Amino acid sequence: MSDVFKIGGASLNSRFFLGTALYPSPKVLADAIEAAETDVITVGLKRQLPAGANPLTQSTTEGVDNPFFQFLKESGKQLLPNTAGCKTAQEAITLAYMAREIFETNWIKLEVIGDDYTLQPDPINLIAAAEQLVKDGFEVFPYCTDDLVTCRRLLDVGCKVLMPWGAPIGSGQGLTNPHALRIL
Which residues are identified as catalytic?
109
What's the rounded Cα separation, in Å, for the pair 140 and 19? 17
Q: Is residue 98 a contact partner of residue 45, using CB atoms and an 8 Å limit?
A: yes
CA dihedral 176, 177, 181, 182 (to 10 degrees): 120
Contacts of residue 121, Cβ cutoff 8 Å, sequence gap at least 6: 111, 112, 113, 114, 142, 143, 144, 145
